[in-house]
Structure formats: structure tokens, C-alpha cells
Amino acid sequence: MEIKRIDHYSIRTLDVEASRTFYTQIIGLKVGPRPPFDFPGLWLYNGDPPADLDHASGNYGIVHVMGVDRDNPQALIDYMGDADVKTLTGTTGALDHIALAVTGRAEVIERCRRNNVDFFERKVPSLGLHQVFIKDPNGVTIELNFPASEAPQTKDSATAAAA
């Protein structure tokens, strides 16, 4: 078996709408076609989603949000297996974070500020990365890896660049 790339990740949530808002307004994904499962949810796509799943060419989104229907939690359990609802808040189990290679740091920081989403930044000099970390409404940490060239200019580096 040869692994080509990570295909998608799934979030099991008690609040589909909060996840929709976060992933569309902060991350910039778009809601697109999803099979007619017996539980609420949505599939989120990078760029324009396909018109329908018959013409998806293997593009089935990069984030699958699976909602727990409080009136019928068995529907998701039947499809995905059981998960203690208490573990859906304040913990992500063994999952620590998801990392995305991205560009457009200034826009993401502006969206975070506008939507009151906390973030922190750090640089990884040996890799040439500038990282921004945020959490989705379910507690999953999203690591956004920008090229080092998108790092904010510090006073010292701006002075050095001008010299």
C-alpha cells in the first residue's frame, strides 16, 4: 500500500451549525454535496465543490462534519459506531491536531479577530514555516502552516531589511 495523502478528517459534533460557521468563515471552506445519511452533517470542500457526488472525480471534501441527532443518536451510532457523547465536548480523544499547508496569513488573522477566535503563532526556522494555531468549536486544534515569508515583520527584522 502506498499512501498518497490524507483524504479528509471527520468531526463528530453536537453542534453542526457552529462547525459550519467556523470552517466556512475562519478556514474558508465551502459546503458541498454529501450523501443522504440518516444523521445531520455536512461535507466541506477546499475551493469550489463539485455540483454533485456523481461528478465529484474523487473530491469528497476535506472535512466531514457528523452531527449527533439528540432525538435519534442511534443513526450515527449505526453508521459510525458508538462514541460517548460526553467525549464530544472539551476533548478530542487521541487526536491532537490537524495541520494544513496554506497561504494568506493576513486574511486568516483578520477573520480570526473579526470572529473572536483565539490564535497563537510561532515560527519553525529550520523548516521555513510560520504557524498559526486555532481551535474549532469541538476543541480540535488546527495548525495552519504558512511560508516563512508570510510571518509578521518584527521591528528588528524590518530595521535589518531596510539597512
Question: What pLDDT score does 90 carry?
Answer: 67
Residue 30 DSSP SS3: strand
In angstroms, the CA 68 to CA 57 distance is: 29
Looking at residues 19-36, what average pLDDT do you find? Answer: 96
CA distances (Å), 150 to each of 132, 143, 145, in order?
Answer: 11, 15, 10
76: amino acid identity, one letter: L
For residue range 97-132, what is the model confidence (pLDDT) as tens digits?
898 999 999 999 999 999 999 999 998 877 888 999
Question: What pLDDT score does 160 carry?
Answer: 36
Question: What pLDDT score does 155 carry?
Answer: 56
Query: Do the beta carbons of residue 34 and residue 43 sit within 8 Å?
Result: yes
User: Nearest 5°: phi and psi at 135?
Assistant: -115, 140
CA distances (Å), 147 to each of 22, 102, 103, in order?
Answer: 23, 8, 7
In angstroms, the CA 157 to CA 25 distance is: 32
Question: What pLDDT score does 118 carry?
Answer: 96
pTM listed for this prediction? 0.80
Q: Is 60 exceeded by the pLDDT of residue 161?
A: no
97: amino acid identity, one letter: H
Question: What pLDDT score does 79 carry?
Answer: 81
